[in-house]
Amino acid sequence: MITPVIAIHGGAGAMARAAMSPEKEQEYLDALRRIVAAGQQVLADGGSALDAVTEAVRLLEDCPLFNAGHGAVFTSAATHELDAAIMDGATLRSGAIANVSNVRNPVLAARKVMENSKHVFFVGAGAENYAAEQGLEIVDPSYFSTEARREQLLRVQRENPDAAVLDHDGQALVARGQPAPADPLDSDKKFGTVGAVALDAQGNLAAATSTGGITNKQVGRVGDAPLIGAGTYANNRTCAVSTTGTGEMFIRMVSAYDISALMEYTGASLEQAADRVVMEKLPTIEGKGGLVAVDAQGNVALPFNTEGMYRGFGRVGQQPEVAIYR
């Protein structure tokens, strides 16, 4: 008997312990627990792995605590550019969108691309038009904005106008008399992708990933999240993977697919393959971040090489397990 399972992440990065109150930590843990439980319920009701990861990522997009959908970070032009991808491990079908600014739930658009289009990847205005044609909710770009993210952009531009990810951490900010970030992970050094992977009762795997990018990024930049094989991958023969981190490095390493390839071609276990990619291979090119993965037997891996990663998983019939720090 297969016990269905779902795992989620909400970003990885450096610690800002001076910024964290017990109340703020609890807020994040409660959100993670609620979203894992929602994915578990989909699976418990007989839903597919695709349905479970879609629902989990949709909820992560709607939660302003995370950098996807409502609460997405700003580009250098003070705009939003959202990316998402989804993949079905049973068929290897996949769909992705990038650089959209008015689609309320990018993961839903990615799924429409997968299910209703002969193509895999739409970008920009073409992706927005396709989402509208498919009947998805279109919103004013201001929907994605929060005051905390706007302050974050201004802080980054004030400190280093050319930086997409700052080098200092929350403690350094406090030491200079500036307010600490309101995020348990330093928002300026956090890689704010969200994602989910799942195994359903039929033995099928799925993965989905969504992101608002990185603060102060150059307009038009696309990271690993919507790229099949880099930030998102699922194959029933091996595993499902969703990553979060320095997107350019995950692209160069084709990290999500690499875990599957290590399992298929070398016989490595999910844990061995995930640890090798995150702890050994990515650091050789200064790749930082982590991932969530599940294999065809229901084993779960949640490795990260940063100081923390918002993460959680839950098997049907069990309580969700969630964490931020090591």
Residues marked active site are found at 193
Amino acid at 324: I
Ligand-binding annotation for 245, yes or no, is yes
Ligand-binding site membership of 215 (annotated): no
- Separation between Cα atoms, residue 185 and residue 171, nearest integer Å: 11
Contacts of 224 (CB under 8 A, 6+ apart): 193, 230, 231, 243, 245, 247, 248, 250, 251, 255, 256
71 is in an annotated binding site: no
Q: DSSP string covering 155-194, please? A: HHHHH-TT-SS-S--HHHHHHTTPPPPSSSB-TTT-B-EE
Q: Is 45 annotated as a binding residue?
A: no
Instruction: Assess contact for 311 and 7: CB atoms under 8 A.
Output: yes
Alpha-carbon distance of 66 to 169, in angstroms, equals 18
Q: Which residues pair with 234 in a beta bridge?
A: 240
Residue 289 annotated in ligand binding: no
Burial of 292 (0-12, 13-18, 19+ CB in 10 A): buried
Is 246 annotated as contributing to ligand binding? Answer: yes
Residue 308 in marked binding region:
no
From residue 142, how far is each of 98, 104, 181, 267, 293 by CA, in Å? 18, 11, 22, 48, 33
Query: Strand 308-315 and strand 321-325: pairing?
Result: antiparallel
Q: Are residues 28 and 9 in contact, defined by beta-carbon separation less than 8 angstroms?
A: no
Q: Does 244 show up as a binding residue in the annotation? A: yes
CA distance 160 to 318: 46
Helix ranges, the chain (H): 22-44, 49-62, 106-116, 124-133, 147-159, 170-175, 247-253, 255-266, 270-275
Annotated binding site: 221-224, 244-247
Annotated binding site for substrate: 221-224, 244-247
